[in-house]
């Protein structure tokens, strides 16, 4: 299925600009002879992203340098600034970066691994988990050739959770970080994650900012519009998410307190909205936290009938168990969103399915979640009646100038998927139990 809005779409140029550099004019003409609809400016200050600003060319051939300068200055002026740099650089923990892959995107995987191998961190390794079908791994030697930090482990059990668990078992670092094979990490990504954990020893995990690598198609722009990208993509200030006691018996362990850098509580939300904390493409855990709250449920995630939810389940178990998650916007990765509309439709439906599959997993493992989920039904009903809402901690977005709004069909596809989630999880759980007699020990 296609959308009639696709025919009128023109690509949007994603441009990273630093407020401390001289502004340059931006041409509307693309290298292939076509034209950009506009620019999506990722504004940085001191290496840290502070805002995303959209600008339309308005039929002109160039966005002048003084216009770019004005947009950047306005974005910086509206941002309160991050926390001060530590006077003494902290001692960074060793890190193992786990990259699950089914080898479906070999070119993107190679690009991802090259960027990971060159990261700015004194003590790290990259563990590629081969989760492909038998016979597909012939390309792996070429993909990892010349990368001194990279090693490969094999996990034949299908599914991203099984692959992540294999990576954790093989990891040697004090911290285990995760990203995906369609992601390009920023050069300072790992140092930012590790520095956050070094400065905040009370935090069990940390997530970062996920930005689009490109906005070439309407489907890619709609993913940003519909979801704000992944998790906390629109948040540019450091936060801490802590499990908090609820206000009644049903929610006694089902709330999250959001704190700013100084520890002041800025809001609360239901623990089941833990997608606000981040996403699996950009997250890291202390190894001891994974021992306590893990492993990933192998009946959840891409590659299983449940199709997703394994990262959220881990976040929720951690928060409900009294743990805390830091959000560090300096830890930036760039994700290549699905480019065509049929793939986007499938992705959005899978998100809805994965979410309710994840809730089914939590209830099956810890029945107290029944009360927590029931306490959220009135809010969910209001959302269904009103339509989709902003992510839990989204900052006020800039005016959306570029492209048509997403089709309403995406909202209904997500809801349709949600209806299928519980049954899909039960099928997936049966699959794991048939495959592994000790399945329940792997949260299946």
246 and 275 in a single domain? The answer is yes
User: Does residue 241 share a domain with residue 191?
Assistant: yes
pLDDT in tens, 148-190: 999 999 999 999 999 999 999 999 999 999 999 999 999 999 9
CATH number of the domain that residue 262 is part of: 3.90.550.10
83 assigned to some structural domain = no
State the average pLDDT over residues 359-375: 89
In this structure, the answer to whether residues 158 and 274 fall within a common structural domain is yes
Residue 239 pLDDT > 50, yes or no?
yes
- Please state the rounded mean pLDDT for residues 396-417: 79
| Rounded average pLDDT over 351-368 | 95
Q: What is the pLDDT of residue 403?
A: 79
Higher-confidence residue of 256 and 404: namely 256
Q: Is residue 211 in some structural domain? A: yes
pLDDT value at 430 more than 80: yes
* Cβ–Cβ under 8 Å, residues 78 and 54: no
Mean pLDDT of the chain: 88
Instruction: Answer whether residue 106 is part of any domain.
Output: yes
The winner for highest mean pLDDT among 1-10, 30-39, 159-168, 359-368 is: 159-168
Q: What is the pLDDT of residue 437?
A: 53
pLDDT tens sequence across 80-112: 777 878 888 899 999 999 999 999 999 999 999
Q: What is the pTM of this model?
A: 0.91
For residues 264 and 359, membership in a common domain is answered with no
On the question of pLDDT at 406 being above 70, the answer is yes
> Which of the two residues, 258 and 231, has the higher pLDDT score?
258
Q: Which of 22-36, 57-71, 74-88, 293-307 has the lowest mean pLDDT?
A: 74-88
Residues 231 and 351 in one domain: no
Are 104 and 37 found together in one domain? no
Domain count, the chain: 3
Residue 235 lies in a domain: yes
Are residues 221 and 138 both part of a single domain? yes
pLDDT at position 10 over 50 = yes
Same domain, 206 and 167: yes
Task: Using the predicted structure, report yes or no on whether residue 260 has a pLDDT greater than 50.
Answer: yes
Max mean pLDDT range (35-49, 70-84, 250-264): 35-49
Q: Count other C-beta atoms under 10 Å from residue 368's C-beta.
A: 15
Give a yes or no: residue 117 inside a domain. yes
Please check whether residue 89 lies inside any domain of the structure: no
What is residue 4's predicted lDDT score, i.e. its pLDDT? 46
Model confidence at 235, pLDDT cuts 50, 70, 90, reads: confident
- Within this chain, do residues 350 and 336 fall inside the same structural domain, yes or no? no
pLDDT value for 398: 46
Residue 269 lies inside a defined structural domain of this protein: yes
pLDDT at residue 230, rounded to an integer: 67
Please state the separation of Cα 313 from the chain's center in Å.
Answer: 14
pLDDT tier at 238, thresholds 50, 70, 90: very high
Last residue of a domain, one of 324, 340, 356: 340
101 and 74 fall within a common domain: no
Residue 134, pLDDT score: 86
Would 359 be classed as within a structural domain?
yes
**Per-residue pLDDT band at 124 (split at 50, 70, 90):** very high
- Residue-number span of the structural domain to which 412 is assigned: 346-390+405-435
Same domain, 181 and 307: yes
Q: Average pLDDT, stretch 350-359?
A: 96
User: Are 74 and 101 part of one and the same domain?
Assistant: no
């Amino acid at each position: 299925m296609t959308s009639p809005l696709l025919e009128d779409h023109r690509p949007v140029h994603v441009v990273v600009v630093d407020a401390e550099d001289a502004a340059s004019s931006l041409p509307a003409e693309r290298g292939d002879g076509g034209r950009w609809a506009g620019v999506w400016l990722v504004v940085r200050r001191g290496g840290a992203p502070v805002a995303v600003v959209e600008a339309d060319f308005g039929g002109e051939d160039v966005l002048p340098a003084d216009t770019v300068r004005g947009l950047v200055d306005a974005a910086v002026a509206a941002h309160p600034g991050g926390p001060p740099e530590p006077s003494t650089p902290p001692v960074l923990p060793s890190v193992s970066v786990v990259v699950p892959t089914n080898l479906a995107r070999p070119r993107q995987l190679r690009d991802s691994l090259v960027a990971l191998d060159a990261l700015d961190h004194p003590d790290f390794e990259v563990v590629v988990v081969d989760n492909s079908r038998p016979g597909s791994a012939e390309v792996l030697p070429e993909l990892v050739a010349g990368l001194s930090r990279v090693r490969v482990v094999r996990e034949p059990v299908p599914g991203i959770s099984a692959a992540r668990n294999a990576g954790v078992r093989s990891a040697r670092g004090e911290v285990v970080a995760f990203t995906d094979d369609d992601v390009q990490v920023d050069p300072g990504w790992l140092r930012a994650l590790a520095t956050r954990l070094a400065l905040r020893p009370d935090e069990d995990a940390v997530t970062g900012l996920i930005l689009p690598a490109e906005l070439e198609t309407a489907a890619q722009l709609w993913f940003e519009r519909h979801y704000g990208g992944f998790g906390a993509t629109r948040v540019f200030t450091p936060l801490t998410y802590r499990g908090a006691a609820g206000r009644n018996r049903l929610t006694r362990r089902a709330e999250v307190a959001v704190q700013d850098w100084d520890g002041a509580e800025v809001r609360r939300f239901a623990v089941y909205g833990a997608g606000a904390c981040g996403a699996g493409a950009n997250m890291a855990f202390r190894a001891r936290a994974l021992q306590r709250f893990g492993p990933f449920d192998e009946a959840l995630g891409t590659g299983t009938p449940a199709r997703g939810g394994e990262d959220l389940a881990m976040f929720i178990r951690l928060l409900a168990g009294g743990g805390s998650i830091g959000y560090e916007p300096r830890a930036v990765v760039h994700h290549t969103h699905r480019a065509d509309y049929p793939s986007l439709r499938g992705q959005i439906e899978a998100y809805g399915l994965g979410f309710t599959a994840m809730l089914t997993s939590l209830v099956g493992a810890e029945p107290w979640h029944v009360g927590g989920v029931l306490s959220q039904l009135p809010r969910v009903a209001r959302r269904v009646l009103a339509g989709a809402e902003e992510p839990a901690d989204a900052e006020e977005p800039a005016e959306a100038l570029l492209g048509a709004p997403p089709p309403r069909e995406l909202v209904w596809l997500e809801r349709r998927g949600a209806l299928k989630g519980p049954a899909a999880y039960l099928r997936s759980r049966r699959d794991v139990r048939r495959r592994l007699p000790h399945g329940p020990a792997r949260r299946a």
